[in-house]
Structure 1
Amino acid sequence: MDRRDAVLKFLTKDMKGLEIGPWFNPLAPKREGYNCLVLDVFDSETLRERARNDPNVPETLWGRIEEVDVVGSSTHIDQLIDARGELGAFNYIVSSHNFEHLPNPIRFLQGCAKVLSPGGIISMAIPDRRACFDYFRPVTTLSTWIGAFLDDVSRPSKAQYFDMVTCTGLYDTGEGKTISFHRGVEPEKVSAGLRLDESLAEWMDRSRNEQYFDAHCSVFTPSSFELLIRDVAYLGLAPFEVVEIFDSPGVEFYVHLRLNSSKQLLRPEGYEDIRNTLLHRILEEAAETSSAHLQTHQLPDALESLQGQLTALQRDRAALMDDLAQRRAEVERLAERGWLLERDLQAMRASTSWRITSPIRRVLGRFRRST
């Protein structure tokens, strides 16, 4: 299953949907028959202009930019859709590498609950801190989300930008450094540049107070994300159940949430056990980026390799012993044959014929020496 199939797993073309910020890579494009509107902070022409001025976006991709139907911040998705008179009219919302940029995730989720029809789906691809430049950052806590919600935050803070910039992890491929890689890379090949001085200066520069600093406001692993969603649902802050969260060996994981107002489902019995299981899984996921964990993780493979080598040596030794036994049997056979020949020779020398023909053999011997 490729990433597009993973994100669109529960969606069909006849459903009415909304895709957030697809830029030049929409997952549910209108040109392929999806009944899907596009929401972006920029209009279509601005997006095309940005693509033309971005050396990392080849010209072949400019034509993939969809017409933007709704212009504005997804933090206020409900207000934007309400202005169209379409609250509750959408079956799904698609988002790829957008959710982590949201300064107020709870506010966004509450907005989605108003935009979606009952049972509506949110499908997302979200970067995994174990395989991208968030490598050195701790996962986001529930208090951060609640604080942003209570303060009605609408943009990333300078603190979040500072954390992102000063801890940006880059993986050394041997041919260069990259901000995205795959899980399980050698930890010693991931490093962060020393940008403390300039980052602090940016933070303290009052003239830049109104400037928008884009950042990864939230940092996740699959289990840390699941815990946040389940906790906000349990607290009645966002009515979404977890349908599926599944991992990938690459830079991202995939999320499917369903709008559901059932308190029994959102506040299940035994939630303490569920929560503790997730907390332990978060620790296990965090450990993946340590050298000690990597070495321990590699031990079974190393032991299997050694076992294979030992088996091969035992097989070679058995073959060598078989060969040695065959050679020993051949030597014994040759020795026995030699003994029989020697016995026959001694018997012949003791015979009358050998004595009678002795003068003839002496003459022949002298003849051979003379010639």
Structure 2
Amino acid sequence: MERRDAVLKGISRAQKGIEIGPWFNPLASKAEGYQCLVLDVFDLATLRQRATDIANVPDDIRDRIEEVDLLGSSTQIEELVRSRGELGQFDYIVSSHNFEHLPDPIRFLQGCAQALKPGGLISMAIPDKRSCFDYFRPVSTLGQWIEAYECKREKPTSAQYFDLYSCLGAFDNGNGKDIAFHRGVTPDRVSVGLALEKYYAEWLKQTRSGSVEYLDTHCSVFTPSSFELLIRDLGYLGLCSFEIVEVFDSPGVEFYGRLRKADSTPILHPSDYEAIRNKLLRRILEETAESSSARSQSVELIAQNTALKNEIEDLRQQNIAQNAALSAEVERLRQRNIELERQSALKERELFELRASTSWRLTSPLRRAVTALRK
């Protein structure tokens, strides 16, 4: 499935929606007939200038940037939609590689719930730590999210910025370093440059100067199961009203999550949640273990062992086939020998009957005379 189709699954042009921070790559584009508002912290002119200055995108791609309808931070989505008098009127919200940047994910989710109709969807594309520069960072915890919510955090912390850039993973592709790569790469080829002193100095400078600069970073780190656990835990605690529709992998650097605004408490507070939660916690361990060198070596050894077993089985089958062919040949020769013995016995019988006959006895003197003459 193409990523655009994955994100827009279950969304139609006729529905009313919001896309968060699409910049120069809108998925639910107005130009393609989607009834979709754009939410961004920058206005259209600024977005176009940034596309030139930062991303160096061609003019034809820059022209795809659409008018910003909701100007502000996505964590303020409730206030922005309220200012238009449209709370509870949207069918969907699309977010591609934005959610992980949010300083206060809980506030964002609560705002989305206010903007959406009952049953409305949030559809997200989210980077997977196993295939991007978050490779060495631990997954985010519920406690971290609750702390950000309780202190009404409005920008990333210096610690989050430090954690990202001091552990920025990059994959050695043989010709350079990639900060986005596919899952399953050789773990030993992903590494971090030694930049501790640099980013520690930046941290001290920020805190001691009282700077209010917004330091964009990945505030949250996910695998698919860790994301699902966070959403389910929030629902169970009554901190957000979204149920999981599905969370699924892609072959690339991201995974997809679809959430639905729930209309009943039992959905968010299932009686078997202890079992569900333990299953997700174990899956998180399995997902993060994919980045282990030992796990990679184990997988390689298993693959080699499987290949060896297959080779042995092929040889066994060949041996069986050769033995079957040899047995068939032996049986053919045995049957041939039996036939020859039968024919020999018939000839012996005929010879005996001939010698026992009257004509054989009468012609005996003649045979002796012929024999004598030959001598």
TM-score by length of 1: 0.84
RMSD between aligned residues: 2.3
Q: Deviations over 1:198-257 (max 9, x none)?
A: 101111113362111001000000110111001111111111111111112321110010
Structure 2, unmatched stretches of 5+, are: 334-370
Query: More displaced, 269-278 or 46-55?
Result: 46-55
Contact 2:119–2:263 (Cα < 8 Å) also in 1: no
C-alpha distance in structure 2 between counterparts of 1:134 and 1:50, whole Å: 25
For residues 5 and 278 of structure 1, the distance between their equivalents in structure 2, rounded to whole angstroms, comes to 26
| Superposed displacement of residue 278, structure 1 | 0.7
Cα drift, residue 314 of structure 1: 4.2
**One-letter code of the match for 2:306?**
E
Distance 1:282 1:56 in 2: 38
Give the Å deviation of 1:306.
Answer: 1.1
1:253 maps to 255
Letter in 2 for 1:52: T
Cα deviation code 1:141-163 (max 9, x no counterpart): 00000000000000000000000
Distance 2:166 2:210 in 1: 18
Letter in 2 for 1:242: I
Q: Deviation per CA, 1:322-363: give whole Å up to 9, x if none.
A: 69x98xx99xxxxxxxxxxxxxxxxxxxxx9xxxxxxxxxxx
User: For 2:247 and 2:134, how far apart are their aligned partners in 1?
Assistant: 20
Alpha carbons 2:241, 2:262 under 8 Å: kept: yes
Q: Show the counterpart of 1:239.
A: 241
Asked whether the equivalents of residues 96 and 125 of structure 2 are also in contact (C-alpha less than 8 Å), the reply is yes
**Corresponding residue to 2:230 among 217, 228, 231:** 228
Large movers: runs of 4+ above 3 Å: 311-323
What amino acid maps onto 1:210 in structure 2? V
For 1:198, the equivalent position in structure 2 comes to 198
Map 1:39-188 to 2 at 5 A: 39-188=39-188
Q: Which amino acid aligns with 2:217?
A: A
Match of 1:366 in 2: none
Distance in structure 2 (CA, Å) of the matches to 1:25 and 1:189: 31
How far apart are the structure 2 equivalents of 1:56 and 1:104? 30
- Contact in 1 for aligned 2:20/2:95 (Cα 8 Å): yes
Q: CA offsets per residue over residues 253-297 of structure 1, 9 Å max, x none?
A: 100101113111111101111111111111111111101212223
Paired residues in the alignment total 333
How far apart are the structure 2 equivalents of 1:67 and 1:58? Answer: 18
CA gap 1:86/1:188 in 2 versus in 1, 3 angstroms: same
State the match for 2:344 in structure 1: none
Q: Which amino acid aligns with 2:128?
A: D
Q: Match of 2:307?
A: 305
TM-aligned CA deviation for residue 320 of structure 1: 7.5
Task: Give unmatched runs, 5+ long, in structure 1.
Answer: 331-351, 353-371
Q: Which amino acid aligns with 1:14?
A: A
Question: Structure 1 208/51 Cα, relative in aligned 2: closer, same or farther at 3 Å?
Answer: farther
* 2:107 match: secondary structure: helix
Amino acid at match of 1:304: T
Partner of 2:31 in structure 1? 31
Structure 1, residues 124-155: CA drift from partner, whole Å, max 9, x if none? 00011011000000000000000000000000
State the 1:182 CA deviation: 1.0
Residue 215 in structure 1 maps to residue 208 in structure 2:
no
- 1:292 corresponds to which of 291, 294, 299: 294
> How high is the TM-score relative to the length of structure 2?
0.84
The 3-state SS of whatever aligns with 1:201 is: helix
- Kindly provide the amino acid, as one letter, of the partner of residue 251 in structure 1: V
Distance 2:213 2:171 in 1: 30
Change (3 A) 1:192 1:160: same
Amino acid at match of 1:175: N
Letter in 1 for 2:199: S
The alpha carbon displacement at 1:310 in A equals: 2.1
Distance 1:58 1:133 in 2: 26
2:284 corresponds to: 282
Partner of 1:340: none
